Amino acid sequence: MPMSMKIANTTIAMLVLASVAAFGGGCRGDRSSSRPRQFIPDMDDSPKFKPQTKTPFFADGRAMRSPVQGTVAFGVLPDPAAKGREHYLKEDDAFFRGKGGDGAFLTTIPAGVTLDQAALERGQERFNVYCASCHGYDGLGKGTVGKQWSYGLPNFLDPKYWDLKVDAEKSRDGYIFHVIRNGVAAPDGSLLMPAYGYSVRPEDAWKIVAYIRSIQEASRGSLQDLPEAERQRLQQNRPKTPGAAPAAGGEK
Ligand code: HEC
């Protein structure tokens, strides 16, 4: 075999080896600390800046940009065109933080929250989605996850959660609103109960508070307190086991 052909063969073999290494070296499923090679990235990742991060792109190194000079922040606007944007500054401490002017938690739900049948139903629906897994549909603290907790979860029927004379803070509407939005913090700052402020909007959190009040009220009342039609509906849809979800049709 001529010398030049031998060299050509070796080169081809090396090229084949190199391409096998390139393609086979970082296959999906292999463990590697380097980024995977993406030949057709499609929309696997979307490059973006996370809040409060650095970037060398801007001279000041901040990924978050300051508002344009001369920008004026605004709060509640009477202009109907600003509907949905009235609360940019979240200035309303009562509505957004459950606190009064004195900094104490409110004893009542702020007047701006409409409390009617629809609000209670929304509160029930949100409660069942976000709270019942731990606290149970009945608020006794024995939800599917709650039962597995390393310690007993609180029972919402405990008077400390509704009677101002028993607990001057935890009984307040504003406190329960605060717990929904910010969770329950341990002294070291870690969360004993997760915060749901990221997914439960303030108006929904107030509706959950209203619904918890209705559970508590129901536990203190009797069937006779209800109008006849409601009494019948309740008796038909009564869950067989305490803590179970209401029978289908029980919720409107
Ligand atoms: C992942 C489980 C979990 C979910 C979901 C959950 N909680 Fe809790 N919640 C806890 C735990 C745990 C505690 C007890 C924290 C402690 O040790 O004081 C607690 C405590 C509470 C307390 C009493 C706080 C106090 O200071 O005594 C209230 C009120 C409460 N939760 C309301 C809610 C509401 C309303 C929701 C739904 C938005 C909710 N929780 C969702 C786990 C949960």
Nearest to 156 by CA among 239, 226, 214, 224: 214
Which of 58-62, 199-203, 234-238 has the weakest average pLDDT? 234-238
Task: Determine which residue's CA is closest to atom 8 belonging to ligand 1.
Answer: 193
The span from the CA of 180 to the CA of 105, in Å, is 13
- pLDDT band, very low/low/confident/very high, at 214 (cuts 50, 70, 90): very high
Q: Say how many C-beta atoms besides its own lie within 10 A of residue 57's C-beta.
A: 9
Q: How remote is the C-alpha of 188 from its chain's centroid? A: 22
How far is Cα 37 from Cα 115, in angstroms, rounded to an integer?
A: 55
Terminal-to-terminal C-alpha distance of the chain: 88
Residue 187 C-alpha to ligand 1 middle, in angstroms?
A: 16
The encoded tokens of residue 67 equal 């508002």
Give, using CA atoms, the residue closest to atom 7 of ligand 1: 193
Within 10 angstroms of residue 182's Cβ, the number of other Cβ atoms is 16
Average the pLDDT over each of 68-72, 82-86, 117-121 and give the range with the smallest value. 82-86
Ordered by where they begin, the domains of the chain are: 92-221 (1.10.760.10)
pLDDT score recorded for residue 76 = 62
| Mean pLDDT, the chain, whole residue set | 86
pLDDT band at 26 (very low <50, low <70, confident <90, very high): low
pLDDT of 252 higher than 50: no
E runs forming strands in the chain: 184-185, 191-193
**Confidence category of residue 178, pLDDT binned at 50, 70, 90:** very high
pLDDT (mean) for 98-126: 96
pLDDT band at 24; cut points 50, 70, 90: low
Length of the chain: 252
Q: What is the DSSP letter of 161?
A: G
Check whether 155 has a pLDDT greater than 90: yes
Q: Which residue has the tokens 């939800």?
A: 143
- Are the C-beta atoms of residues 171 and 164 closer than 8 Å to each other? yes
- Write out residues with Cβ below 6 Å of ligand 1: 130-131, 133-135, 145, 149, 153-154, 170, 176, 179-180, 184, 192-194, 196, 200, 208
Which atom of ligand 1 is least distant from the CA of 208? 35
- pLDDT, position 225: 87
